[in-house]
Amino acid sequence: MRQLRTVVRSMVTPDGSIVAMDDATIVWKPKGDRQKRVRIEAQASVLLGLIGPRGVVDRVVVGDEYGGVNLISLADMDVLERFVVGNSMVRSLCSSSISGESILVGCEDGSVYMVGQNVPNRVVSLFELDGPASALRIIGQDLHIQQGWERKIVSWTGRKSLVTA
């Protein structure tokens, strides 16, 4: 008997689609080519596409239910790197640079981290919020954080910014 899997997250790009399944499998379905897959350690909770030097999405960052952040190459469907930020589900991801060298991570427990190869010790805890960050965005020198219906604008230390939303 064939096991039925459920799609838990998906992302569409001009070159194909990325689908995260409930069995922790990530599937890349490129247009006009065979699909490729890789399995990560836990079920995906959030996806973020990274644009490479050719101007197309060539890597995907997958946050998971156990606090892992996986960087996956779409060409090879290999997990290039895995960062563990804690044991709380990753709720939001944001690239802090155009090249995607470091990633801002928001977790269910309200903790916010920066991860990447160029980050000291690969993972740095930035600050704690009073609830989960459902969306993160960097605008200028400030972080715009969506928490339910409320938007907070804070500095990189978590202090309220002087800019108003």
Task: Indicate which CATH number applies to the domain containing 25.
Answer: 2.130.10.10
pTM above 0.85, yes or no: yes
> Confidence class of residue 165 from pLDDT cuts 50, 70 and 90?
very low
Contacts of 4 (CB under 8 A, 6+ apart): none
Contacts of 3 (CB under 8 A, 6+ apart): 23
Whole-number Å distance between alpha carbons of 154 and 147: 13
Domain carrying residue 75: 7-132
74 domain residue, yes or no: yes
Q: For the residues 114-143, what does the mean pLDDT come to?
A: 91
156 domain residue, yes or no: no
165 domain residue, yes or no: no
* The residue type at 141: Q
150 domain residue, yes or no: no
pLDDT tens per residue across span 12-52: 999 999 999 999 999 999 999 999 999 999 999 999 999 98
Count how many domains the chain has.
1
142 domain residue, yes or no: no
139 domain residue, yes or no: no
